């Protein structure tokens, strides 16, 4: 089976998705949007005008069984070809965006796609279109628990002192670093807040295992994936009630999901004072990249076996 994967920009979970599919015999070709992208410098309209010819050239070059649009914004580019079935995976920042045009584009694409995938119950509740829920997978071989002292030695942290890990760029307003500082300041325990960003993905397990607690104070999140990764490392988590955090770690000891400052402070204090590490892998059971790959392959095979995929109906 050959699948054309369309993306705006790559993510670690998407790379895991492609790897898991290729291990199962699916040939994936990834076509990303032209132009450089960063949070401070998004792509331009001109970049996206160049994207459709790029997609069509690839479709003429090779025979694909289906097209998988990864993110609501690339949905229209997949749907512009009327022959092959289209799978649309919504990532969260598209369907639940503050930008009305991006939400509308995502919802329109979802209505026309042959199959729609969402990664979390929160997104499932937000989408009024038939869909399947397939959680983004994490690499449970990479994200695993190791002794804290060993992790600190690897990254050069002082072996003494408690650390609350803030895993985002503090300049991003939706991550609310100011609130994280306030929570740490009000806590009745001695703990240092450390911002870790721009670290290669494969090194993040060391930073998680070197920390005493993960602190997430985001105003909104589609996930966040970092919570699943921290849970796999057995790291206590204190977080605002965003995305799929509650579904992932809400029932685990030394993990706290709260809306109020007082609740977050209490959770931080409890996590730092306890030597226990949660059995986070129980909360992420079935969320490996292998599980994601199996479910996507089943979906692909079902679409390719349908006698009249929606793509044919779009064409006729």
Q: 183 and 75: one domain? A: no
In a domain, 143, yes or no: no
Place of tokens 């400052």: 261
- Expressed in angstroms, the distance from the first to the final Cα of the chain is 25
Q: 20 and 123: one domain? A: yes
Q: 304 and 278: one domain? A: no
pLDDT at 312 over 60: no
- Cis link prior to 224 (omega < 30° from 0)? yes
In a domain, 228, yes or no: yes
Place of tokens 């993040």: 204
Q: 78 and 52: one domain? A: yes
Q: 164 and 133: one domain? A: no
Confidence of residue 41 (pLDDT cuts 50, 70, 90): very low
pLDDT at 274 over 50: yes
Look at the chain and report how many structural domains it folds into: 2
In a domain, 265, yes or no: yes
Domain ranges, residue 64: 2-137+288-315
In a domain, 142, yes or no: no
The rounded distance, in Å, linking the Cα atoms of 29 and 8 is: 14
Q: 14 and 87: one domain? A: yes
Cα 105 to chain centroid, rounded: 20
| Alpha carbon distances (Å) from 14 to 5, 17, 51, 127, 149 | 10, 5, 19, 21, 31
CATH number at residue 115: 3.40.50.2000
**Mean pLDDT score of the chain, rounded to an integer?**
90
Q: 103 and 229: one domain? A: no
- Cβ count within 10 A of residue 183: 25
Q: 33 and 128: one domain? A: yes
Length of the chain: 316
pLDDT at 313 over 60: no
Cα 144 to chain centroid, rounded: 18
Q: 12 and 130: one domain? A: yes
pLDDT at 310 over 70: no
237 touches 290 (CB < 8 A): no
In a domain, 162, yes or no: yes
In a domain, 217, yes or no: yes
304: burial class by Cβ within 10 Å (0-12, 13-18, 19+)? middle
Handedness of CA 107, 112, 113, 115 (dihedral sign): positive
Handedness of CA 92, 11, 221, 145 (dihedral sign): positive
Q: 33 and 79: one domain? A: yes
- Which ranges of the chain does DSSP label H, i.e. alpha helix? 12-23, 45-49, 51-61, 75-79, 100-112, 121-126, 148-155, 177-186, 204-210, 225-232, 245-249, 261-273, 280-283, 289-305, 310-315
pLDDT digits (tens, 9 = 90+) for 141-199: 899 999 999 999 999 999 999 999 999 999 999 999 999 999 999 999 999 999 999 99
pLDDT digits (tens, 9 = 90+) for 52-82: 999 999 999 999 999 999 999 999 999 999 8
282 touches 231 (CB < 8 A): no
Provide φ and ψ at 196, rounded to 5°: -125, 115
pLDDT at 97 over 90: no
In a domain, 73, yes or no: yes
In a domain, 306, yes or no: yes
Q: 127 and 250: one domain? A: no
Tokens of 32: 């990303």
Q: 256 and 304: one domain? A: no
């Amino acid at each position: 089976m050959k699948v054309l994967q369309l993306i705006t920009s790559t993510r670690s979970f998407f790379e895991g998705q492609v790897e898991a599919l290729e291990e199962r015999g699916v040939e994936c070709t990834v076509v990303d949007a032209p132009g450089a992208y960063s949070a401070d410098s998004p792509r331009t309209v001109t970049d996206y005008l160049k994207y459709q010819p790029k997609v069509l050239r690839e479709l003429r070059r090779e025979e694909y069984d289906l097209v998988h649009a990864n993110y609501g914004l690339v949905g229209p580019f997949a749907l512009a070809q009327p022959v092959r079935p289209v799978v649309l995976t919504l990532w969260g920042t598209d369907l639940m965006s503050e930008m009305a045009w991006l939400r509308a584009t995502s919802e329109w694409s979802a209505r026309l796609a042959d199959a729609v995938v969402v990664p979390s119950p929160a997104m499932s509740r937000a989408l009024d279109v038939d869909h399947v829920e397939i959680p983004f997978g994490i690499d449970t071989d990479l994200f695993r628990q190791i002794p804290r002292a060993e992790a600190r030695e690897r990254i050069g942290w002082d072996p003494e002192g408690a650390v609350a890990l803030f895993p985002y760029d503090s300049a991003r307003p939706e991550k609310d670093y100011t609130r994280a500082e306030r929570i740490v300041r009000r806590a009745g325990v001695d703990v240092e807040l450390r911002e870790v960003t721009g670290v290669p993905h494969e090194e993040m397990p060391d930073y998680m295992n070197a920390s005493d607690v993960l602190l997430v104070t985001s105003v909104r999140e589609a996930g966040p994936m970092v919570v699943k990764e921290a849970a796999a490392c057995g790291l206590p988590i204190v977080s605002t009630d965003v995305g799929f955090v509650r579904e992932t770690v809400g029932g685990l000891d030394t993990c706290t999901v709260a809306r109020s400052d007082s609740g977050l402070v209490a959770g931080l204090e409890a996590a730092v004072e306890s030597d226990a590490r949660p059995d986070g892998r129980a909360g992420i059971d079935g969320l490996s990249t292998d599980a994601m790959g199996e479910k996507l392959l089943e979906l692909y095979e079902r679409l390719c076996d349908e006698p009249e995929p929606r793509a044919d109906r779009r064409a006729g």
